[in-house]
Copies of this chain bind each other. A is one copy, B any other.
C-alpha cells in the first residue's frame, strides 16, 4: 500500500520518468492557511543542485489540485501534483535488462513480472519523496509548536565531509551518512504501547524513504552497551523532565515530554560512476555496467528534510489521535 497514517493519511503515486509524481493528504483539519509559497523552503532543501547531489534540476513546482479554498485547507483531501520536466529516459535504457547493483531493478522486475516502469527506477525513484516533503509541510503546520530539526551528523564517516564528498566524486564513487533528528515541544502522551509505539510508527515512516538502513532512538545501539544505572533517565520534577535523554523522549512507546531524538543511517548512493560487474538478465550472462545519467554522490545530503517530513506526518497523526481521546 502506498499510503500511511490512521487519521492524517498520506498517499503517494507517480514515476521518475512518467508524467509526474503526486501526493494526496487525507485527514487534514480545515482552516489551516496554505499557499504555494509555503512549500518552497522545504522543497528547495530536498532539491538537487548542491555539491554532492544530482544535476537534475526539477523546478518542483507543486500544483494544488484540491482541498484548499480561499487560501485555507477545507478538510477535504489535499492533492498536490508535480509535473516531471527534465526526464532524459535515454540515460536509462540499459537498466531495462542490465540490473543496477544496489537498486530495485531486479526486485521490481521480479515482483511486477516485468511490467514495472523501469525508466529511472519508476515508482522506486527518490523523485517520489517530493510528495512526502509536500505532505510534511502541511503536517508541520498541524503540529505546531512542535519543532523538528534533522541535521547531517556525518557523511562517509566524517563530520566535516566536504572534502570526502569531493574525493568520492573524483573517484566515481558515492557516500552514505548519518542523520540525527530532534523534535522539541513534544506533548506527553503521543503513541501507544506495542504496535503503535512512537518508535514503531516513526521507524515505519522513516524506513519508507529509499536508502534508509537503520533507525535508532535515544542512545540507540549505544544503549545496548550501557548499564541500567547509567541508561535510566532520572526525573527532575513533576513535569516528567529528565536529567538525561537516553530514551530519546519515549517510554513504553509513548512520548514523555522530553525532546524526541533519533538517528538514521543512509546507505551510499547506489549509482556509481565506476564500471561495475553485474548480470545481463536478458542475455543471461555476466556483463560490465557503466551507469550514465545524473546522480548524487551522496543523496543523504538531501534526506534531512524528508526525515523531517515523515516525522511531521507521524506526529500529526498521533496528535489528532490524542485529541480524540482527550
Contacts and interface: CB of A to CB of B under 8 A. Distances in A.
A52 B163 CA distance: 48
Interface stretch (A41-49, A143-151, A271-279): A271-279
A9 interface: yes
Interface string A100-128: 01111011101111011100011110001
Contacts of A66: 13-15, 18-22, 123
B102 A251 contact: yes
Given A30-B325, A214-B216, 8 more contacts: A11-B11, A75-B325, A111-B254, A213-B218, A223-B265, A224-B266, A227-B268, A323-B326
28 contacts: A11-B11, A11-B26, A12-B194, A13-B26, A14-B65, A24-B24, A31-B113, A101-B233, A107-B188, A107-B254, A121-B252, A123-B193, A173-B228, A194-B210, A195-B204, A199-B213, A201-B204, A208-B253, A213-B216, A213-B218, A215-B216, A216-B216, A216-B265, A219-B267, A223-B267, A226-B268, A229-B276, A320-B325
Nearest to A75: B112
A271 to B, nearest CB: 8
Contacts of A266: 224
Contact of A210 (B124, B192, B252): B252
Contact of A270 (B27, B232, B300): B232
Contacts of A233: 101-102
A13 B175 contact: no
Given A75-B115, A279-B235, A3 B26 contact: yes
Nearest to A17: B69
A251 B157 contact: no
A214 B214 contact: yes
Stoichiometry, as copies per complex, reads 4
Interface residues of A, number: 148
Contact of A221 (B20, B22, B178, B204): B178
A170 interface: no
B238 A284 contact: yes
Contacts of A226: 176, 267-268
A92 interface: no
A123 B254 contact: no
Contacts of A174: 227-229
Interface in A234-280: 234-238, 240, 242, 246-248, 251-257, 263, 265-272, 274, 276-279
A72 B112 CA distance: 11
Nearest to A317: B324
B106 A251 contact: yes
Contacts of A159: none
Contacts of A178: 221, 224
A116 B207 contact: no
